[in-house]
Structure 1
Amino acid sequence: MNRQKFSCVKENFMQRRYALVAASIVLFSVLGYSQIDSNKSALAKSSLPQLETPLQKKTAKTDTKIVASSNKFGFKLFSEVQKGNTGEKNVFISPSSVAIALAMTYNGASGTTQLAIAKTLELQGMNLQEINSSYAAALKQLVDNSDPKVQLNIANSLWANQNFSFQPDFLQRIQYFYKAKVSNLNFQDPAAPNIINNWVKDNTNGKINKIVDKIEPSQVLFLINAIYFKGKWSQEFNKNQTAQYPFYSTSGRPKQQMMMSQNGDYRYYESKQFQAVSLPYGKDGKFSFYIFLPKQNSNLKAFYQNLNLENWEKWMTQFSKQKGFIRLPRFKTDYDVTLNDSLKSLGMEEAFSDKANFSGMGKNLKISEVKHKTFVEVNEEGTEAAAVTSVGISTTAFIDINPPFQMIVDRPFFCAIRDNQTGRVLFMGSIIDPQ
């Protein structure tokens, strides 16, 4: 009897031992660190968490919450970015890109730092598992597309300093839920920035070539999101209809600009303050380009005072099919901004300070810089847009019943690219000078 009991104990012990070894092998092979010296590895010794599959927690309610949180954060961020704009410069951001990059960063935050990021990203009331599972489901839903006229790619990456130790469960969550490319990199190598920037270039179809200028000695990690969108209009503009017309800038002075013109059936909405139209892409119109044009007696500044999630969702229900004529400028612009001050104003100041708590990621860490770059081109064929967000982590030691409308977009306007299926706003911006 004793011998049988001893045999069971021994067998149980061996099974646990083999399971632990197998789990370790799986982790290291998944993250690609099996050939790296353990003293220099970005992985710290830690037990693995029990991860649920990305779609296990997927529910309509949760996905709606994630979309709402991303959009609400986006409008808040756009408002903060606009505060630093003189009114003469185009502003174009991707709130989804910034939110995804910060959601990955959130996985390493703890304590009051985690609470601050959650408040900024409007994630209160959701636990980490729910957030990650919802983002995984939302990302999959976004990129699942059978329309040959629409292309949307979303890529994530994590670049870790090979001389710094990170929590392995943090790294695993980033790869598992966000499908991130996880790389161990020699940050002292002069070629390191180019390696990261080449990934950025590849994942934005060459529209954004650089996000990291140089790597400071105190920097140990970069969390990067890249979004690339290309959509052909459901009804392309006739190039023969494109001609020069005046576009009136903020100063009121006219400037000749190539403008595209078209008659058709559109989803349209008009209020006392603005006109708005939705221009769909592809065959099914899953994605659309939205233009909000302030009336002659108003302006963008007044429009922005009412631009928030509550009003946006109300406006989206007011669009109805109408015949009309639209004229809008062809334009191409790029934009870059460091978001540190904007995010601090939104409540994330602690995350940038020496008081930051990213113990779920590693020891003595803080956010050093959040950089954001975008590109957009609108022409007769459609729209091409790209965005990259980099979160740098450093050590603290360092129905037609209405008459036809006419909408002449000949003055500064607000625009957005929205996934009409989920409601997520991918891009938004103000076009002051279409040149």
Structure 2
Amino acid sequence: MKKFGAGIEHVDFDKPHETAQTINQFVKENTMGKIPSAVTPDSFGDETSVFLVNAISFKAKWCNRFRSFLTKSGEFHISKTDTAQVQFMENRSYFNYAVLDELNATALQMDYEESYLSFVVILLNTRVGLYELESRLKNYDLSKVTDQMTYKLVDVKLPRFKYECKMGMNEMFKRDDANLWGMLDPLIIGPPLFISNVIHKAVIEIDEDGTVAAAITGF
């Protein structure tokens, strides 16, 4: 627990409403309120013995911030024929930039203030072909993207957006296949432990000032 900075809290799974409230309060506090809840009372059953949850958050400002008065509405291509009206941020400044001929795309690196992290955008040169690009990136060494970059003056036009995703996985391990004996004393908990449900939520928000992101995973 010391190695991972983790804590342990005793809860009563026979009181699912109180347990859900305790977990959701932890999630809300550790994601700066971006993810207000992760579980419901129905998340726990009669055989629930342990619930593992981690939560992270990130907030940083751009080194080269966008000026709000330059943001204006424009068309964003969402398919070969369809568009959507979104708010485009604009900035003309020096960034790391690369032309990726092998991916038929360009790449831009936007640094954050007082951070070793950065935001990298890979943009297709054509209106269609996103799925093909995603497939090629699965086995692509992303360091090759930044290695090709040069520092130059770039006109950036980026949509302001907020994206949320939620995923779940049931029956990750079947009871007879799980090997989690080392977690708890089997003489105390009775039947063997196995993972019955996995919950994941993530959110990222991009605006003129920077980036706010948060994620939680529960087992």
Scaled by the length of structure 1, what TM-score is found?
0.46
Aligned runs of 1:55-204 on 2, under 5 Å? Answer: 175-189=1-15, 190-204=17-31
- The answer to which structure has the higher helix fraction is 1
Counting only pairs closer than 5 Å after superposition, residues 408-423 of structure 1 correspond to structure 2 as none
| 1:257 Cα offset (Å) | 1.1
2:65 counterpart of 1:207: no
- Alpha-carbon shift at residue 309 of structure 1 (Å): 5.6
Q: Whole-Å Cα distance in 1 between the matches of residues 120 and 175 of structure 2? A: 38
Runs ≥4 in structure 1, deviation > 6 angstroms?
Answer: none
**SS of equivalent to 2:50:** strand
Q: Deviations over 1:187-221 (max 9, x none)?
A: 11231110111000011111111111122111111
* Aligned match of 2:167: 337
Higher strand share: 2
Aligned with 2:27: secondary structure? helix
CA–CA distance in 1 between the matches of 2:88 and 2:109? 17
1:327 and 1:387 mapped to 2: Cα distance?
27
Structure 2: which 5+ residue stretches go unaligned?
187-191
Tell me which of 107, 124, 127 is aligned to 1:276: 107
In structure 1, the residue matched to 2:189 is none
Q: Match of 1:211, as an amino acid?
A: A
1:354 aligned to 2:176?
yes
Matched, 1:385 2:216: no
Give the number of aligned pairs.
208
Secondary structure of 2:213's aligned partner: strand
User: Is residue 2:62 matched to residue 1:233?
Assistant: yes
Distance 2:99 2:128 in 1: 13
User: 2:92–2:155: 8 Å Cα contact kept in structure 1?
Assistant: yes
Q: What is the alpha-carbon distance in structure 1 between the residues aligned to residue 167 and residue 216 of structure 2?
A: 11
Cα distance between partner residues in 2 of 1:221 and 1:338: 17
| One-letter amino acid of the structure 2 residue matched with residue 290 of structure 1 | V
C-alpha separation in 2, matches of 1:327 and 1:310:
26
Which residue does 1:414 correspond to in 2?
Answer: none
Pairwise CA RMSD of aligned residues? 1.7
Q: Deviations over 1:236-287 (max 9, x none)?
A: 101111011111112531222110001111011111211110111114x511
Match of 1:420 in 2: none
C-alpha distance in 1 between matches for 2:32 and 2:149: 33
Q: How does 1:385-404 map to 2 (within 5 A)?
A: 385-391=213-219
How far apart are 1:310 and its partner, in Å?
Answer: 4.4
The 3 A distance-change label for structure 1 pair 207 and 184 is: same
Structure 1 pair 242/176, CA: closer, same or farther in 2 (3 Å)? same
C-alpha distance in structure 1 between counterparts of 2:105 and 2:174, whole Å: 39
- Alignment partner, residue 36 of structure 1: none
Matching residue of 2:83? 254
CA contact (8 A) 2:27 2:36 kept: yes
Pick closer, same or farther for the CA change 1:365–1:278 going to 2, 3 Å.
same
* Bigger Rg over Cα: 1
